[in-house]
Amino acid sequence: MGSIVGIFTATDKHLDRNLLLRMRNAITYSGSDHSYLEITPEDGVGLAHVPLISRDLTADSYQPMWNSNHTRVVVFSGTIFNCLEIRDELETLGFHVQPNSDTEVLLKGYEAWGTEVVDKLNGTFAFAIWDRSVGRLWLARDRFGEQPLYYFFDEVHSTFIFASELKAILEHPVVSKAVDPQGLQSYLVFGYVPAPLSLVKGVKKLQPAHSLIIEAGKTPELYCYWQLKQVATLQSAPEAEIRDNLRSRFELAVKRRLDRNSHLSPAALLSGGLDSTLVVGMMSKLLKEPVHTFSTAFEIGSVDAEIWNTNPNQCNSDADVAKAVSAHFGTKHSQLIISGRQDLIGTLRRCVRNFGEPHSNQINVTMILLAEWLKEQGIAVVMTGDGSDAIFGGEPRHQLDMQISLLQKLPRWLRNLAYANRNKWPLKDNFNPTAFRRVDLAPLTVERLNTWFTYSKVEFNHLLQGEYATDTGVIDSIYQDLLKRLLSNNHITSNQDALLYMDLKLDIEESNRMRAYKTSTPAGLASLTPFLDYQFVEYAMSIPFARKVGWQKDKQLLRETFSDLLPKVVEKRKKYGWRSPFGSWLKDYLWQDVCGLIQTLPETGIFTPEVCNLIQDYQPANSRQLWSLLTFAIWHQEFME
């Protein structure tokens, strides 16, 4: 785990040692004193690596790492879970590889198989290999984007720079600090900036499951090395066979992650929901020692009742269940209580600095406080249940979209009659009015798939000015590209299967994984997700949605497959999701800061003065929108001014 930085240039002034140091130091967090760099002026290459601050380093792990004849050098961030399997394969080919050295396995794997080594890797990774024998720099990123990788290419000066984080890229003088309109519009709609976009003009993210090759005097070439090609193909496989395969693959995914970190205390985040309970249950089954589990709870404010239109204590609905699950499995459980009286604005600023670009999910503040607390507890690696919702149909929108498909099977006159009498008929609680309103949206279309936006484009467009006010079409383009990729590799007819694919490619790869890395890494914490083991995902995504989800029963297949691992308190429990009481945070504790920061937005030349109306005419329903703008305002102050 850790972070990487590099420069490849034909211009000497852009390969300055102090410049590389500045880039490296931008992502060197407090206590990380084992970072190294390597510059070979004759090649025009400079590389640096920053390890996680809490991990013990053996001599062979120091990076950049050269091969024995000094022709190839690598910087690597991540963990290869099948490292020992690849090492054994290399040994049969005559290579000697030291035990448990992911970096050396990668380097010698490259010597054995070239760029095809990436196909053998099961893990989280971002790396760069300079091969001076062919004058080529090769970068790659893992299949689900668990390790980020940004890059910038300046064709005029023939300079290519890359880094694990955007803020390191911004240290280079060839990068201008200008906000990218497409990046901004995608942020305002999604709440994050999906790859290959970034929020800075000219800077791109290497997409998950992609590699990049650049040679001197040439432009970068991109390659996709992995795609899901068997989506929803298991139409007729026996149910028992599917369950057995799911179970064995999940157990292997958990075991691989435990084995690669066997020298550390086993730990997991336990929300009390289905997914984290399954992870803890499988860990407890495989281990002889008790698992350390951790959860959060909040002090609740009155504003949250208005935002959620429900009991505000829903934010803590998982906390009590987590304690019951801990008792069931005999874990060592600890709970972090988060109060609005803490330095929330300081934490939010720290969060934005760690991310290096705005990300508007309100749970980020909780995650960074949790990661810092885990560091104080001496925890270096933690297992989570992330990813399952997008694979097994765990989000409310998945049920809603299924309702749309069912309603579309009815004649229009019958749909209209049912909607007109929706409060009178026996199934009134089983159909959401939203399903009726969206029933005319055809399946497997951009219009149908993008209807589940975090925000609509019109919510923000009237707040923008200049070049930023012109609709770039980026949102539809993102969905069109993903849908084309899905349909070109798979024969599917269900909109729900397409929706799960979109959630995996966007919510998980572009939001969830970025959030996990950028909240945990500064605390020296590695976050592992067995549900995102790519071999498990390949099999799980080959199961049609209709076989995963029941009527009004999210993730039914997952519940039935692992019923023996589920305590009764979890088995039939409704999903609540991990929420924070950000409404009271905004109004009760941050309001003065919110007002001051929102009022700076027109000064950026990006937003119109009308943006200030959001604070003058505050409504609890606008809290998410305000949080998104607040996060952007802090980011602009920290990095662009």
Known binder of ligand: residue 564?
A: no
Alpha carbon distance 100, 634 (integer Å): 41
Q: Is 358 exposed, middle or buried (0-12, 13-18, 19+ CB in 10 A)?
A: buried
Helical spans, DSSP H, in 119-271 = 166-169, 181-190, 239-259
The b-or-e profile of 299-319 (16+ CB within 10 A means b, else e) is ebbebbbebbeeebbbbbbbb
Q: Is 225 exposed, middle or buried (0-12, 13-18, 19+ CB in 10 A)?
A: middle
Known binder of ligand: residue 400?
A: no
CA Rg value for the chain: 25
Say if residues 126 and 4 touch (Cβ distance below 8 Å).
Answer: yes
Say if residues 38 and 73 touch (Cβ distance below 8 Å).
Answer: yes
- CA dihedral of 115, 479, 517, 172, whole degrees rounded to 10: 70
Alpha carbon distance 369, 320 (integer Å): 20
Alpha carbon distance 237, 214 (integer Å): 44
Say if residues 101 and 57 touch (Cβ distance below 8 Å).
Answer: no
Alpha carbon distance 307, 502 (integer Å): 27
Sheet holding 526-528, edge to edge: 332-338, 292-298, 267-269, 381-383, 526-528
Say if residues 395 and 389 touch (Cβ distance below 8 Å).
Answer: yes
Nearest to 72 by CA among 29, 31, 27, 117: 117
- Number of Cβ within 10 Å of residue 157's Cβ equals 14
Alpha carbon distance 252, 350 (integer Å): 37
Known binder of ligand: residue 39?
A: no
What DSSP assignment string belongs to 75-142?
Answer: EEEEEETTHHHHHHHHHHTT----TT-HHHHHHHHHHHHGGGGGGG--EEEEEEEEETTTTEEEEEE-
- Number of Cβ within 10 Å of residue 64's Cβ equals 24
Say if residues 212 and 151 touch (Cβ distance below 8 Å).
Answer: yes
The residues with which 212 forms a beta bridge, in sequence order, are: 139, 222
The residues with which 641 forms a beta bridge, in sequence order, are: none
Alpha carbon distance 65, 77 (integer Å): 12
Alpha carbon distance 80, 146 (integer Å): 12
Both tokens of 554, joined, read 């999210």
Alpha carbon distance 264, 286 (integer Å): 15
In this structure, what DSSP letter does residue 467 have? G
Task: Mention every residue, 6+ apart, whose C-beta is less than 8 A from residue 246.
Answer: 536, 539, 540, 543, 557, 558, 561
Both tokens of 364, joined, read 């980020």
Binding-site residues for ATP: 269, 300
Binding-site residues: 102, 269, 300
Binding-site residues for L-glutamine: 102
